[in-house]
Structure 1
Amino acid sequence: MTATVSSTVLLSPAERAAIGKNARARASRSSHGFLEAGPERFDPVEVIERQSATRVPELVPIRYGRMLESPFRFYRGAAAIMAADLGAAPDTGLRVQLCGDAHLLNFRLLASPERHLVFDINDFDETLPGPFEWDVKRLATSFAIAGRANGFSLKEQNTIVRTCVRAYRKRMRDLAGMRTLDIWYAQDDVERLRALLASSMDKKTRRRTTRATEQARTRTHLQAFAKLTRSTSEGRRIAADPPLITPLRDLLADAADNQQEKELQTVLEEYTLTLPSERRHLLHHFRLVDMARKVVGVGSVGTRCWILLLLGRDDGDPLLLQAKEAQESVLAAQTGADRFDNQGRRVVTGQRLIQTTSDIFLGWTHVVGIDGHERDFYVRQLRDWKGIVHPETMDPGLLGLFARLCGASLARAHARSGDPIAIAAYLGSGDRFDQALTGYAQSYADRNEQDFEALAAAVRSGRVTAESL
């Protein structure tokens, strides 16, 4: 089953705009500023524990440890908590393919297949169709939390959040006036970003932006290869860094050795069938030589993730793939979405809908493990020109510029699968929605801090165990 969003191709632009304006009766723009705080709210720690129940047990304490480093790190790992909160509130009914976890660190510079740098969303583990404003709320709140972490004043935080939401609204309005194919081809490449921000950047900011793009181009698969592997008597192999990176050879300690290796071979073999024929041809020029389990991210810690080292003509011709377990989206219970035949396919389908250019090795697979459990995976290159921002180093002006980029990029992503005319009509030309989400972001940042403290209390009481690395 593939992810779809309702089509409006048989309606005129005026009829589509009317749908957007009529959605205000279902959920007014001002209503998004309110956050219900009733006594019946769920236990946030229980939500996290339910997720942990399906993960690698020895890695779960690392997840909790990472989430307790700061309220922002907690927020990154708490997509399921926010999804439950979003699902309890009225929504517009204007559906798009959601990222599902649209916080600011999931926007970055990426390499297109044509070897151009583009700015886009990077993480799609939770992608599903749903109300457009859910992504906007998660993104806006992430900027409020980041601003707090940096010690910005309330006025500075609110300005940054409004900048983000206003950029989303204005870009959606622009997209609503574009031809369908022009929307699909729209891309935020580096040159467009520089032109977009030229009037807003001082010399210092321009230098930082130039340096960031240069650094992104150095974050190649060859850099990852040099960092993550070492020369051995058997050739190039993945270097151990337990528990964060543990080669398969170090995990195998019993009679299940061969079966575990066969399972991972199956992951690779079945995955190749989901690639276009020319990509399969390219992949067949490489041979698999090593595998390792990798601990990734914050919210994903404990899911099964493998690095696959493949070599071409010699030890200097590498390809690093990442096979990551795909579980049911945290949004599934809130959207009433039908079950997918493969959660890896859900991720890949959503990514291709949202991103302008996706990794050429993006695919999915399914495997029955040695424990009898069926698991889905999606596969992509481990690293390819990825530029990662560091919001903790940004002043209010620079974080505001980044908020502007993220808001505009999210609108472009939503317009590919949703109806930009209806969404733009709902948002309108005024700032009512911007102001509402500024209030929401602050209210949810408060709630996030409360949930952060709840997890800390659970660790202190011994209910859960956290491990810091």
Structure 2
Amino acid sequence: MGVTLDGGITPDELAAVPDASTRLDPVEILQAQARSRVQELVPVRYGRMVATPFTFFRGAAAVMAADLASTPDSGIHTQLCGDAHLSNFGLFYTPERRMAFDLNDFDETHPGPFEWDVKRLAASVAVAARGNGFAEEDVRRVTREVGRVYRKSMRRSRKKSTLECWYDHIDVDEDLVRISAKLDTSTAARTRKALTKARHRDSVQALSKLCETAPDGSIRIRSDPPLLVPLREIFSGEAEGVAGAEIDRRLGDYRSVLAPHVAALFDQFTMIEVARKVVGVGSVGTRAWIVLLRGRDLDDPLFLQLKEAQESVLAPYVRGHVYANQGARVVEGQRLMQAASDIFLGWHTGVDDALAQHDFYVRQLRDGKGSVVIEALEPQQMRLYARLCGRVLAQAHARTAGRERIVEFVDVGSVFDEAIAEFAVRYADLNDADHAQLRVAVDSGRVPCRELV
């Protein structure tokens, strides 16, 4: 490719992946992450990651961050999602109770080269497409859509005002009709079914799924170790009271960062019970709690999730950014990139039973949340979904001050698209090898593994 992109990087450099012989050991990177996690849950994380190359990719954000940092970049920094793979996009309710589709995971949000998000998304498409058995021609075709739609969406943003970019979003109720017209009848029906299911995923639904009636007639969070463990089973006797008081103190700290009108709403709820809940793939082992609160009565519930925020996997490679609280980093990054955010989004700092300090962010456990089953997508569906995610990612980046420079970089016709697709396919090769290496590590006993149904 004889073109030089803005900032001096060539398309070949944009498409480059690190040489396999010079990369850091991916299993060692995962083991380093595991040291700060709840040790009894680390085998569950490996169990989820070893299942398929795609689940490995989902959990290996730290591995890819090291790889991206070792290859040339554009030098154009903006706020990044940090983990923009296909499964980190989804449905949720806005504060105005409209269903939106957007990025929905910001654990790794951090400033960095804009194309790192695009590459993470494109590589996830390539890995998922291979996992779904697509022909290699179809893999490249659907992967190319990410760069193409991202580029065109960013170019369109240049014609919009700053405020128009800020408010730009995917309106599911309006866009679903247009998208469904491009799907076959059975797929469109499944799409409508998924949307209906998401609309009913709220705290009332969570109450029925996560709770049970105790012998004394009270409602309590059910036990399903190690994935769901009530506080009463983690601590006993006086220790349970101390732990409950600590959670209550954390909620008090969290309340202090809420806007006054949201704090007034929060004050109408009373804490009932707490449990530890395993979530995701990459997040398994980080400290995550769910809290059941009631309003008027238990027919008026609120479930909050308190999730540990550790340093972003991008932080070691993008210097000059210091955060007093990692939970605040997640919340502020989410508010910057997401078109509409949960009104209960907040953060706090807490201590565990070893008196170690941990930062947390807080959000509703379920508020219309829904996601696509990536493993069920066929080529046409994957292509449309890749386009939708590419558009959403562009909208998130266009909300930031880096918009103009990003547009200048990507607005070079299909050169950008081809470079991103080439990177993604090459990176899928590396990911396949890394997944195989984890399987060897599991089989040899190098890492502990617990595969749950």
For residues 247-282 of structure 1, what are the alpha-carbon distances to aligned partners after superposition, in whole Å with 9 as ceiling and x for unaligned?
000111365333222221121111011110011100
Q: How does 1:71-220 map onto structure 2 within 5 Å?
A: 71-194=53-176, 197=179, 200-220=182-202
Equivalence for 2:274: 291
CA distance in 2, matches of 1:45, 1:38: 14
CA distance 1:59–1:118, change in 2 (3 Å): same
Give the SS at the match of 2:91: strand
Deviations 1:260-310 (A, max 9, x none): 222211211110111100111001101001000001111000000001000
Q: Tell me if 1:360 matches 2:349.
A: no
Q: Does the 8 Å contact 1:124/1:351 carry over to 2?
A: yes
CA change 1:143–1:288 in 2 (3 A) is same
Pick aligned residue for 1:280 from 263, 268, 272: 263
**2:329 is the alignment partner of 1:323:** no
What does residue range 58-77 of structure 1 map to in structure 2 within 5 Å? 58-77=40-59
Counterpart of 2:355 in structure 1 is 372
Do the aligned partners of 1:102 and 1:136 also contact (CA within 8 Å) in 2?
yes
Residue 33 of structure 1: aligned partner: 15
Q: Does 1:244 align with 2:208?
A: no
- 1:192 CA displacement: 4.3
**Gap regions ≥5 residues in structure 2:** none
Alpha-carbon spacing, 1:63–1:465, altered in 2? closer, same or farther (3 Å): same
Partner of 2:413: 430
Residues 114, 89 of structure 1: alpha-carbon distance in 2 compared, 3 angstrom cutoff: same
Q: Match for residue 18 of structure 1? A: none
Q: For the residues of structure 2 that align with 1:286 and 1:99, how far apart are their CA atoms?
A: 32
Within the candidate set 284, 291, 301, 1:301 is matched to 284
Residue of structure 1 aligned with 2:375, choices 384, 392, 400: 392
Q: Secondary structure at the match of 1:306?
A: strand
Q: What CA distance in whole angstroms lies between the structure 2 residues aligned with 1:409 and 1:192?
A: 15
Measured in 2, the distance between the counterparts of 1:261 and 1:64 equals 30
Secondary structure, aligned partner of 1:424:
helix
CA distance change for structure 1 residues 415 and 66 in 2, over 3 Å: closer, same or farther? same
Q: 2:444 aligns to what?
A: 461
- Matched to 1:373, the amino acid is A
Task: Determine the C-alpha separation between the residues in 2 that align with 1:22 and 1:33.
Answer: 13
* Partner residue, 1:347: 330
Residue 211 of structure 2 corresponds to residue 229 of structure 1: yes
Q: 1:439 aligns with which of 400, 412, 422?
A: 422
1:44 to 16, 26, 48: 26
Asked whether the equivalents of residues 177 and 421 of structure 1 are also in contact (C-alpha less than 8 Å), the reply is no
CA displacement at 1:198 relative to structure 2:
5.9
Do the aligned partners of residues 22 and 234 (structure 1) sit closer, same or farther apart at CA in structure 2, a change above 3 Å counting?
farther
Pairwise CA distance, 1:165: 1.5
- The answer to whether the 8 A contact 2:4-2:11 is kept is no
* Structure 1 unaligned regions, length at least 5: 1-20
| TM-score between the two structures when normalised by the length of structure 2 | 0.96
CA distance in 2, matches of 1:115, 1:306: 25
Q: Given that residues 20 and 430 in structure 2 are in contact (C-alpha distance below 8 angstroms), is that contact kept between their aligned partners in structure 1?
A: no
Distance in 1 between the 2:237 and 2:31 partners? 30
Is contact 2:231–2:240 with CA below 8 Å preserved after alignment? no
SS of the aligned residue for 2:170 comes to coil
Which AA in structure 2 matches 1:342? N
Match of 1:10 in 2: none
Q: Deviations for 1:319-361, whole angstroms, at most 9, x for unmatched residues?
A: 0000000000000001114331000000000000010110010
CA contact (8 A) 2:6 2:408 kept: no
2:432 alignment partner in structure 1: 449
Aligned to 1:7: none
Question: Separation in 2 of the partners of 1:246 and 1:278?
Answer: 33
1:328-339 matched pairs, under 5 angstroms: 328-339=311-322
Question: Could you tell me whether the CA contact under 8 Å between 1:30 and 1:433 is conserved in 2?
Answer: no
Cα shift readout 1:381-431 (whole Å, capped 9, x = no counterpart)? 000111210122111001100000000000000111143222111111410
| Larger deviation, residues 22-31 vs 173-182 | 22-31
Give the drift of 1:213. 1.7
State the Cα distance separating 1:207 from its structure 2 match.
2.7
